Structures are given as structure tokens and as C-alpha cells.
Amino acid sequence: MLSEKEIQDKLKTVKGWERMGNAIEKKFKFKDFVEATAFLVKVGFAAESMDHHPDITWSYSRVTLSLTTHSANGLTQKDFDLAQKIDQIG
């Protein structure tokens, strides 16, 4: 698990992610449902390849991704690696 200092430093390396307790969260808004689907399919491929998966809420064109490492009960490097990957996607 990352220390508070490490978390604060790493938050500066990702775009638009907010700290929410044990997780970091980012909200996305797309043109429509189809565009949101396309984004989530790409996120899904990244998540599978990293064996680390976001928690997702999805309502039509609005998607919220939440990253945490359940097994560590907190934030780890894996969360920030996936956040950076997602930042490259959309």
C-alpha cells in the first residue's frame, strides 16, 4: 500500500482523478451511449492486460471509474499505472 505522501505525489502524475478515501475516481462524459461503450471496451482491454479492474458506474453517456486495490485495502502502484493507461485512452 502507498503512503499518503506517495499518493499525493502520484496524484500529480494523472489527469482529473480525485481521491475518494481508499480509491481514486474520475468522471467521464461522452457524446452518447455508443461512445461510452467504445471507451469502456478499451478500458476493459487495458484492465485485463494489467489484471487490475476499475469499479464502474455507467448511465448512458456518463461513466465514473473508481480504482483501488481491494487485496491491499488501499491504493497501490497498480491503481496509478491503470489510471495513466486510462488517461491515454479517453
Question: Which positions touch a second copy (CB under 8 A)?
Answer: 33-34, 37, 40-41, 44, 47-48, 53, 55-60
Judged by beta carbon, residue 47 or residue 86, the one nearer a second copy is 47
User: Residue 81 and residue 63: Cα distance in Å, rounded?
Assistant: 19
CB of residue 28 vs a second copy: minimum separation in angstroms? Answer: 14
> Could you give the CA distance from residue 85 to residue 90 in angstroms, rounded to a whole number?
9
User: Where would I find the beta strands (DSSP E) of the chain?
Assistant: 18-20, 23-29, 55-59, 62-67
Q: Which is nearer to a second copy, 14 or 43 (CB)?
A: 43
Query: C-beta of 76: minimal distance to a second copy in Å?
Result: 16
